[in-house]
A and B are shown apart, each in its own frame.
Chain A
Amino acid sequence: MFVPRTVKRKLPHAVPAELPPRALQPISTGSVAAQPESSNPADTSSKHPPRAPTGPVQQPKKGPNYSEEDLAWKHIVALEMLFAPSSSVRFAAKSIDGSSGWIHLSHIISHRSISNLRPSPSQIALATALRTIPSALIELSADGYHVRQRELPFNPLIGTDDEMTIYVEPVPAKLTDDALDVAVALRKEMSAEDPCLPIQRVFGLGRGYALVLLSSIVDESTVKNIKMPMTWMVLTKAEHDRRDVEYQRLIQSDYDALRRRRRVSPEPRRREEGRLTPPREVGRLTPPPLPSLPPKSRPASTSTPTPYEKGLILHLSHLHEETNKPTIQSFLAQVANRQQYFDKNPSAQLEYDGAPIEDATDTNLVHVQYVDYTKPSDTAYVRLSTPAEAILLARALTFQHRVMRAKDDCKGTSVGENSERKYVVGNVLEGERERIYWEMLEDAKTKGKRKRKAGDQDRSRAVESVGEVQQLVVNKAKGTHMKFD
């Protein structure tokens, strides 16, 4: 019977127009639940004999950089993560041919961790991936529409998350733009029966590094046995933390040495009672005393009195490289207002499409004291009025995932957590890092004042040795006045 195209109802998810004959065959043994549920009940074509496909099965549109094989790997890794031990996702399973635990692929692709993949896979794509790439964890049913978790052929050593986590620096570094790309690159190198599989999670992503939670304890000896890409830097979490502490101590000693060096300044040769007084040596940690000269006192600081108030400094990263201070300030104000609206209307965040929020209050929730930023850079330090504001902004940025698309983009664009575009991230400075920041800020201000008085033109040389706050002095040299209320 001829059915006009306009009458045919379309399926909720994409299904190729012509299915391979295998998919149209009913499951044997006559189990009622084994009927392929993806077929459209209103589609009368299922009652007709299956047609041989007249051409290649249409796949969803691929991104410009993904090959068939790449897509298959992405699907496999995403599926394995979904079925990982730490995954809290549970699907309704059923029996097929007397064996239990089968889950229909329609449930799988409707889960957000799969549907959020770009391009979003179809059931056919997932089935093809499982046939193409072996997985020790996931099994595909004979009909090609159901999957289930296999019994692992090995006994993994289960430990704490830290014991099962490794730190990786992939090559190329741009892999860390997307957590799944890191997992795929790693998974490709590992054999399907590796006891550390599946990869449970990729987190702590940064520019060129990531943490990977595996499924078995990894120590120094096993990390060498895991087949990793040769050019990658791979460390156990414990070793990573140890080196991190060592680096922290090293940088602290560097800044201590720097401060000692800067306290000792060269003195002009002075004539005292007919003889020349030798100048102070530059670089000595303890300068020799000069009884004829009064001890050089540092100018009284007019900035924020020490000890400083903790928790005021928010470190922003992944800003637009050409942005400016007013834009950053406005961006943060909008983030805070948006978060206030979402806190009051939790359901609104899920439906938020980026349009201006009419109900958001116009009053500023955060009061930015100072924006420490110099072009071109994608990081900035923002001093706020209270620690609560800093925490609010850090939390809001974590949830909102806003990308600064242009240098004057105050609103930002919302992206997914696994987006390739880097969204603005905020971290409140604390501990040693905060202390160092305040001390260097103080030193930079004092140095700048001293340099202005001495008429020293070589400000750029002083800038090089200050470290993270070096740009403050550059701002001063350029005439930008730094104020602290």
Chain B
Amino acid sequence: MATITTTTLLLEMFGDGGLDSLFLNKNVLDVGCNEGRVTCAISQHLGARHVKGVDIDPFLIRKAKEYKRKLYSRQKTGRDTQVRFFPLSSLDKHGLRPLLDAGDKVSIRPRLSTFPENTDFVAQDWLQTPLGDDEEGIYDVVLALSLTKWIHLNSFDAGLKSFFDKCLRALRPGGHFIVEPQPWPSYVTAVKKKCRALASNLDKLEMRPENGFGGWLLNNGWEEVFIAGGNEEGKGFDAREIRVYRKPLDVTALIDEISPCEFQNTICRVP
């Protein structure tokens, strides 16, 4: 589960002074969003146009919706939106503000919207659910934080590869894939302490999460952008690394769509 540590790292990397263009005015998909901490941080702080959080556990999705409502209740909108304006004691005393536009709408809104309208949560097994035609190539960023271990252990190497391929299809050309792979020792720990039933699955895994799953991502359509974190001396989440990959631009299609001047500017802007 991605914790405040991952959230803080993401905000440091992609917040003020960081690569904020990665999320600003973009459509984001957070697979395995858990309680929605990172999802809401991106939608509230990093100016994403729309963020969709997906998790297989409906209980966690409910908690995520409550968390979104809590963040919404705390903020004061106006000329200058203040995120942590109203005290927590007021929320406890008077209750949370109702979400007037609540619902499970997951359509991508064409215009820039603000938190919480730009955030949706859906309980769904994203790996098993077929990617609809309206979901192919629409996301600018796909996040998979502290997720790959569980896909790997439950669905083996084939399932993990299928997941990466699905992320590739869901991204638009030039879109970014942010993955926080759990290290191999955590697989062993998870099997020993939490899911003994997966012990037999562990022996069948050939891929290893280190080095971008043994370079598999690089060899299967992804471009590596950068790697952050991964403190070898740290423990737990301090030792995790965040890897950012990019779906290659479909240069041919881009040339057809834009003028030569815009094309030149676009190519220069891409990091």
Q: Mark A233-254, 1 if CB is under 8 A from B, else 0.
A: 1010000100110111011001
How many angstroms from the CA of A258 to the CA of B94 in the assembled complex? 16
How many angstroms from the CA of A204 to the CA of B90 in the assembled complex? 12
Please tell me if A167 contacts chain B, counting CB pairs below 8 Å: yes
Chain B residue numbers with a CB within 8 Å of A207 are 88, 92
Contact of A233 among B87, B97, B100 (CB under 8 A): B87
Known: A251-B95, A433-B93. A461 touches B102 (CB 8 A): yes
Residue of B at shortest CB range from A172?
Answer: B4
Please tell me if B184 contacts chain A, counting CB pairs below 8 Å: no
Chain B residue numbers with a CB within 8 Å of A261 are 100
Chain B residue numbers with a CB within 8 Å of A251 are 73, 94-95, 97
Residue of B at shortest CB range from A171?
Answer: B4
Q: Mark A413-457, 1 if CB is under 8 A from B, else 0.
A: 000000000000000000011001000000000000000000000
Q: Would you call B59 and A376 a contact (CB within 8 A)? A: yes
Q: Would you call A464 and B90 a contact (CB within 8 A)? A: no
Residue of B at shortest CB range from A204?
Answer: B89
How far, in Å, is A328 (CB) from chain B's closest CB? 19
Please tell me if A278 contacts chain B, counting CB pairs below 8 Å: no
Known: A167-B87, A206-B88, A243-B85. A464 touches B99 (CB 8 A): yes
Majority SS at the chain A contact face: helix
Q: Would you call B100 and A169 a contact (CB within 8 A)? A: no
Please tell me if B191 contacts chain A, counting CB pairs below 8 Å: no
Residue of B at shortest CB range from A248?
Answer: B94
How many angstroms from the CA of A169 to the CA of B103 in the assembled complex? 31
How far, in Å, is A365 (CB) from chain B's closest CB? 28
Contact of B94 among A233, A240, A247, A376 (CB under 8 A): A247
How many angstroms from the CA of A257 to the CA of B73 in the assembled complex? 16
Please tell me if B86 contacts chain A, counting CB pairs below 8 Å: yes
Q: Would you call B86 and A258 a contact (CB within 8 A)? A: no
Please tell me if B196 contacts chain A, counting CB pairs below 8 Å: no
Known: A244-B87, A247-B86, A376-B59. A206 touches B92 (CB 8 A): yes
Chain A residue numbers with a CB within 8 Å of B104 are 461
How many angstroms from the CA of A410 to the CA of B102 in the assembled complex? 37
Chain B residue numbers with a CB within 8 Å of A376 are 59
How far, in Å, is B12 (CB) from chain A's closest CB? 13
Residue of A at shortest CB range from B59?
Answer: A376
Q: Mark B110-132, 1 if CB is under 8 A from A, else 0.
A: 00000000000000000000000
How far, in Å, is B106 (CB) from chain A's closest CB? 13
Q: Mark B51-67, 1 if CB is under 8 A from A, else 0.
A: 00000000100000100
Chain B residue numbers with a CB within 8 Å of A361 are none
How many angstroms from the CA of A251 to the CA of B102 in the assembled complex? 16
Chain B residue numbers with a CB within 8 Å of A257 are 100
How far, in Å, is A122 (CB) from chain B's closest CB? 33
Chain A residue numbers with a CB within 8 Å of B99 are 464-465
Please tell me if A468 contacts chain B, counting CB pairs below 8 Å: yes
Which of A244, A317, A376 has the most chain B CB atoms inside 10 A of its CB?
A: A244
Residue of A at shortest CB range from B89?
Answer: A209
Q: Would you call B103 and A461 a contact (CB within 8 A)? A: yes
Chain A residue numbers with a CB within 8 Å of B151 are none
How many angstroms from the CA of A49 to the CA of B59 in the assembled complex? 68
Please tell me if A214 contacts chain B, counting CB pairs below 8 Å: no
Known: A254-B100, A376-B59. A246 touches B86 (CB 8 A): yes
Please tell me if A370 contacts chain B, counting CB pairs below 8 Å: no
Majority SS at the chain B contact face: loop
Q: Would you call B89 and A255 a contact (CB within 8 A)? A: no
Residue of B at shortest CB range from A252?
Answer: B94
Residue of B at shortest CB range from A468?
Answer: B95
Q: Would you call A167 and B89 a contact (CB within 8 A)? A: yes
Contact of B98 among A206, A235, A258 (CB under 8 A): A258
Within 8 A of B (CB), among A461-483: 461, 464-468
Chain A residue numbers with a CB within 8 Å of B88 are 169, 206-209
Chain B residue numbers with a CB within 8 Å of A240 are 87, 89
Q: Mark B65-92, 1 if CB is under 8 A from A, else 0.
A: 1000000010000000000111111111
How far, in Å, is B75 (CB) from chain A's closest CB? 11
How far, in Å, is B122 (CB) from chain A's closest CB? 13
How many angstroms from the CA of A207 to the CA of B84 in the assembled complex? 15
Residue of A at shortest CB range from B88?
Answer: A209
How far, in Å, is B141 (CB) from chain A's closest CB? 26
Q: Mark B20-31, 1 if CB is under 8 A from A, else 0.
A: 000000000000
How far, in Å, is A235 (CB) from chain B's closest CB? 7
How far, in Å, is A461 (CB) from chain B's closest CB? 6
Q: Would you call A244 and B92 a contact (CB within 8 A)? A: no
Please tell me if B96 contacts chain A, counting CB pairs below 8 Å: yes
How many angstroms from the CA of A468 to the CA of B93 in the assembled complex? 12
Chain B residue numbers with a CB within 8 Å of A433 are 93-95
Chain A residue numbers with a CB within 8 Å of B91 are 247
Q: Would you call B94 and A467 a contact (CB within 8 A)? A: no
How many angstroms from the CA of A209 to the CA of B90 in the assembled complex? 10
How many angstroms from the CA of A400 to the CA of B97 in the assembled complex? 32
Within 8 A of B (CB), among A293-350: 317
How many angstroms from the CA of A240 to the CA of B94 in the assembled complex? 14
Q: Would you call B84 and A233 a contact (CB within 8 A)? A: yes
How far, in Å, is A227 (CB) from chain B's closest CB? 20
Within 8 A of B (CB), among A230-285: 233, 235, 240, 243-244, 246-248, 250-251, 254-255, 257-258, 261
Residue of B at shortest CB range from A465?
Answer: B102
How far, in Å, is A94 (CB) from chain B's closest CB? 44
Q: Would you call A467 and B95 a contact (CB within 8 A)? A: yes
Chain A residue numbers with a CB within 8 Å of B89 are 167, 204, 206, 209, 240, 244
Chain B residue numbers with a CB within 8 Å of A461 are 102-104
Residue of B at shortest CB range from A167?
Answer: B87
How many angstroms from the CA of A432 to the CA of B94 in the assembled complex? 9
Q: Which residues does A use to contact B, with CB under 8 Å? A: 167, 169, 204, 206-209, 233, 235, 240, 243-244, 246-248, 250-251, 254-255, 257-258, 261, 317, 376, 432-433, 436, 461, 464-468
18 extra interface residue pairs, beta carbon distance < 8 Å, beyond A206-B92, A209-B87, A244-B93:
A167-B89, A208-B88, A209-B89, A209-B92, A240-B87, A243-B86, A244-B89, A244-B94, A247-B86, A247-B90, A251-B94, A376-B59, A432-B94, A461-B103, A464-B65, A467-B96, A467-B98, A468-B96
When A and B form their complex, which 4 residue pairs have the shortest distance between CB atoms, in order from nearest? Answer: A464-B102, A247-B90, A467-B98, A247-B86
Q: List 24 A-B contacts (CB under 8 A).
A: A169-B87, A204-B89, A206-B88, A206-B89, A209-B88, A233-B84, A240-B89, A243-B90, A244-B86, A244-B87, A244-B90, A244-B93, A244-B94, A247-B73, A247-B86, A250-B86, A254-B98, A258-B98, A258-B100, A317-B92, A436-B95, A461-B102, A461-B103, A464-B103
Q: Which residues does B use to contact A, with CB under 8 Å? A: 59, 65, 73, 84-100, 102-104
